[in-house]
Structures are given as structure tokens and as C-alpha cells.
Amino acid sequence: KVKKRDKETFEKTQPKLAKLFLNSRKSNRLSHAYLLYGEINSPLVDSAMYLAKSLYCTKDLLACNSCLECQKFEENNHPDFTFIDGRAKGLKKEDINYLSEKYSLGTVEKNHTACYIIGEISNITEEAANALLKFLEEPSTPLVAILTTTNIEKCLPTIVSRCVTVKVNPLLFKEVIKGNEDRFSREQAYALSLFAPTFKEMETLSRSDDFINAFQVAETFISDLVSSLEKAGFGLLKEGSGLLKTQKSIKYFATILIKVFSNVLSSNYSDSFSTFAISVKPYKDSLPKTIDVLADILNTLPANMNTTLSLARIINSLK
């Protein structure tokens, strides 16, 4: 079910995207394809869904959430809309063929612009990408594509060039956690918000072994740094090698550390990682190098997923 995001909130949190979309609708010059990109905790699919719903709204240029068309969309019952989620699996040619066949005869409802969303377009196979390029260039009916990605660098340039690209802002931590401040520790909630754009997704992620293990290793490592690098390094190799066994767990762990270390470098001790950041202050001179190492670990996943070697590199960079 689509979250009932209201027009005012959308315009406040995504002003650039809202302005572009409104101007395009007012001038009747919608693009045939949009690519929404942003960080992992940006509400990409949520924003794409709201734009798609707005296309069908009969009362306003941005979805009113009350008309019959908006209600049909929220109930996943709109015949001229399709969502293909590539976030958890690769996008295959069959997915694109399905879109082509569905829209080959036009829209089900008269005078409608059809719309489809593809989540995480960077996960598309080469064969599927070729089919999509042809489909983007030769739509057989009035059709708007909304693609999303958290990794625009890995998207095929040929796809990017055919889209209007817009960055989606991550929601502020206080907006995501509002009304649920007591559900997690401050540090755990903030770490979850780095990877989940809604509180519901934060709750789901909090039960994931990958996140639980990554947060535990990061929290222990940072706490041990207060005593000594030797103690922290020994504990990291011992605990981390056993718990950080998956690509996701390493990604969560490295991202949390990058955020903490970046806060120290920017002298930001006011956010919800403040207690972590204060523990790392004595290592401030080494942090730029460590952040580079962590970024390299993230960029080379999954090709070089040697956990012990990666953890040793982190320790050595802090010396």
C-alpha cells in the first residue's frame, strides 16, 4: 500500500523534484522517462510512487489522496500502473517484455497516461537493458517511466542519457523517527536511518542479522578505541571475522564507521552518533586515510570480500 504522503510534505522535503514535476505538468511537457537517484536512505520508491499517483489524480497536479483515482492507486488497483522492484533481484529481459506487452494496446482507462516504476535500475542485466532502451525510445502509448537507483555511477550511460535525472533528498533523521524515539537506542536508530527511508523499513532492518551483527561490531570497535587501538584491533579481528560474513553486513559496518569518522572530521558532535564520535576524537589525524580505506572496501564489494584482510586494513590505517 502506498503511503499517503501529502502535497505539502512532498514539496517541503523534495522541493526540486516537486517543482520540476509541477512545471512539467503545467506546461504539458512531461518527460517520457525520469531517473530518481540518491543515497540508500533516500525515499526513492516512495517519491516515485507519489509522482505516479499524481499522474492519475483528478483534483490536483500533485496527488490529493482523496479522489477515486488516488484511492485506486493506494489500493494497488490501478490498471495503467506497474511497479517492478529490482532492489532485491536482478532485472531481466522478461520484466521489460512484460511492460512492452502490457502497454502495447494502450491504456485501459481512456485519456490516461500510463506509468511504470522500476526500482534500482542499476541491477538490470545487459539483455534487459537493451530491451529497455528500445522500449524507452519507442513507446506505443502515452507512457511515463520512473526509474530509481542508489548507485547512479553503475547505471548504464545510455539509460541515464534518455532520462531526466533528479536527486532525491534523504529524509532528516528526526522526520523518520518522529513519534518512535523510544523504540531504539539513539545510536541504533540513527544507524538504521542511514539505510532505511521510513520507520517501517527501519523496524524491518532492525531484525536483520546483517544489521544486528554490523552494528554490534561497529559499536564494540568504537568503544574499545577509547582504551587503545591495540584492544580495539584485537577485538575487531576476533569478533568481526566471525560476524561480518555477508556483503550486506560489511556494507552496513563500513557505512556506519564512515559516518562516525566524517562527523569527527567536521567537528559534528550534535547528531545521534555524538557519543561514538567523541570516542574517536584522539584518532582525528588518521581518519581521512581510514575513510578512504572504508570507501575502497565498499567500492570493491563483492569482488574482494576478504573480511579479515579488510578489517586489518582499517586497523592499520588508524595507526
Task: Give every residue of the chain whose pLDDT is below 50, as ranges.
Answer: 1-3
pLDDT at 107: 66
> What digits encode the pLDDT tens for the residues 1-24?
444 568 888 999 999 999 999 999
184 Rama sector, left if φ>0, alpha if ψ -120 to 50, beta otherwise: beta
Q: Using one digit for the tens of pLDDT, what is the confidence trace for 220-279?
A: 999 999 999 999 999 999 999 999 999 999 999 999 999 999 989 988 777 778 888 888
Tell me which H or E stretch contains 33.
strand 33-37
- The confidence score (pLDDT) of residue 275 equals 83
> What is the per-residue pLDDT for 2?
41
Q: Give the pLDDT confidence score for residue 3 in this predicted structure.
A: 47
Q: Which amino acid is at 31?
A: S
Helical H runs in the chain?
7-13, 15-26, 44-56, 68-74, 93-103, 126-137, 157-160, 173-177, 186-193, 199-206, 209-225, 229-235, 241-243, 247-265, 274-280, 287-299, 307-317
- Which has the closest alpha carbon to 222: 261, 276, 270? 276
Predicted pLDDT at 1: 40
Contact 107, 142 (CB under 8 A): yes
Model pLDDT, residue 26:
92
Q: What is the pTM of this model?
A: 0.78
